[in-house]
């Protein structure tokens, strides 16, 4: 069984990656229903938290049905990280996760996220301070390195373990790669072979099918897999992987009713949690995957991603149900 400290995640957990404007409560609810073993919040600015910024504080919202769950923070200042750790503890997640992997320029330019990969001593110092500031188990998500010449992830794994982290999630790309090219899991596998490393190691990057999940599990020996982009608008990826691991069978894709019902519930919760404007806008990135592979869907999807009126969007979703339920040949 895989454990993060005392948090039991089962034999081979599937984790939902923390994704800004994606892994919010509305989406997490759907992923949990489909078998996700552990989820993380969107990453939260420690500066926003300690200043009581509304957007940052709202991201602390977690629900009992989501557990176990990790709250992820990012920052670059020692005092801010320590104070934010105390605030996170009050929200009572199972885990506090530190983001040392976000490649976005506005984060990196402040030496936060993947920016810290340019200063490993500071990374270790910040992590040590957070571990000592909370009773929660602390985990880290990071990348292989800053660029091709600085893939120090094996050293990072040992040093962060030594200061007390309880698990490490590794995205198989450098910061310079952003999300381009193919994720390289070779070094992730080497960390699992290192006899000094005893904490769970979770692999992340390019897992987009049950077959690939099992292939990478077997090839690299990771303790679990973290899924990011492949889950956007497709929470069924978790149940499909679990079914394939258990039976060797590929599940049929979700029906049109399942897709429409999920999209509607997702939108309803999004409107409730984020309000009528953000609730509509931040749903748009999900529609492509909800209805991927349907013939002649492009003009309909264009309406979904440009419409602002929730009632009209619900009507469009019902139109999709009617159109494709009546004509199964329209589905690829």
Residue 15 has φ and ψ, to the nearest 5°, of -115, 145
Give the HSE-up count for residue 8: Cα atoms under 13 Å, Cβ half-sphere: 3
End-to-end CA distance of the chain: 39
Strand bridging mode 95-100 / 138-143: parallel
CA 303, CA 30: separation in Å to the nearest integer? 24
Cα 120 to chain centroid distance, Å, stands at 24
CB neighbourhood size of 105 (10 A): 11
CB neighbourhood size of 197 (10 A): 17
Given a contact cutoff of 8 angstroms between Cβ atoms, the answer to whether 39 and 4 are in contact is no
User: Residue ranges of the alpha helices (H) in 221-309?
Assistant: 237-247, 256-274, 276-281, 284-290, 298-304
CB neighbourhood size of 163 (10 A): 17
CB neighbourhood size of 90 (10 A): 7
- Residue for token pair 């303790």: 223
Active site residue 31: no
Query: Which residue in 2, 22, 87, 102 is the catalytic one?
Result: 102
Longest CA span, the chain = 61
Helix/strand/coil for 110:
coil
Q: Which residues are catalytic?
A: 102
């Amino acid at each position: 069984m895989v454990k993060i400290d005392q948090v039991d995640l089962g034999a081979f957990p599937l984790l939902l990656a923390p994704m800004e404007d994606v892994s919010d409560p509305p989406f997490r609810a759907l992923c949990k229903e489909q078998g996700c073993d552990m989820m993380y919040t969107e990453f939260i600015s420690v500066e926003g938290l300690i200043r009581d910024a509304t957007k940052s504080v709202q991201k602390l919202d977690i629900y009992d049905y989501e557990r176990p769950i990790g709250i992820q923070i990012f920052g670059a200042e020692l005092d801010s990280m320590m104070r934010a750790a105390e605030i996170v503890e009050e929200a009572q997640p199972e885990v506090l996760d530190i983001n040392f992997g976000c490649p976005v320029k506005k984060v990196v330019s402040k030496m936060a996220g993947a920016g810290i990969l340019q200063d490993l001593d500071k990374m270790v110092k910040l992590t040590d301070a957070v571990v000592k500031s909370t009773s929660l188990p602390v985990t880290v998500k990071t990348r292989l390195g800053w660029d091709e010449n600085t893939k120090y992830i094996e050293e990072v794994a040992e040093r962060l373990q030594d200061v007390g982290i309880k698990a490490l999630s590794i995205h198989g790309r450098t910061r310079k790669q952003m999300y381009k090219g193919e994720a390289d899991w070779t070094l992730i596998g080497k960390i699992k072979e290192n006899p000094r490393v005893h904490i769970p190691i979770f692999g992340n990057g390019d897992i987009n099918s049950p077959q690939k999940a099992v292939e990478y599990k077997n090839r690299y020996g990771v303790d679990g897999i973290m899924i990011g982009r492949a889950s956007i608008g497709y929470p069924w990826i978790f149940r499909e992987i679990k079914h394939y691991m258990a039976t060797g069978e590929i599940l049929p894709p979700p029906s049109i009713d399942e897709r429409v019902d999920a999209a509607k519930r997702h939108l309803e919760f999004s409107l409730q949690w984020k309000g009528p404007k953000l609730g509509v806008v931040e749903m748009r990135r999900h529609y492509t995957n909800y209805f991927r592979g349907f013939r002649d869907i492009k003009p309909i999807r264009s309406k979904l991603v440009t419409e602002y009126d929730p009632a009209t969007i619900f009507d469009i979703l019902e139109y999709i149900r009617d159109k494709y339920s009546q004509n199964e040949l329209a589905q690829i």
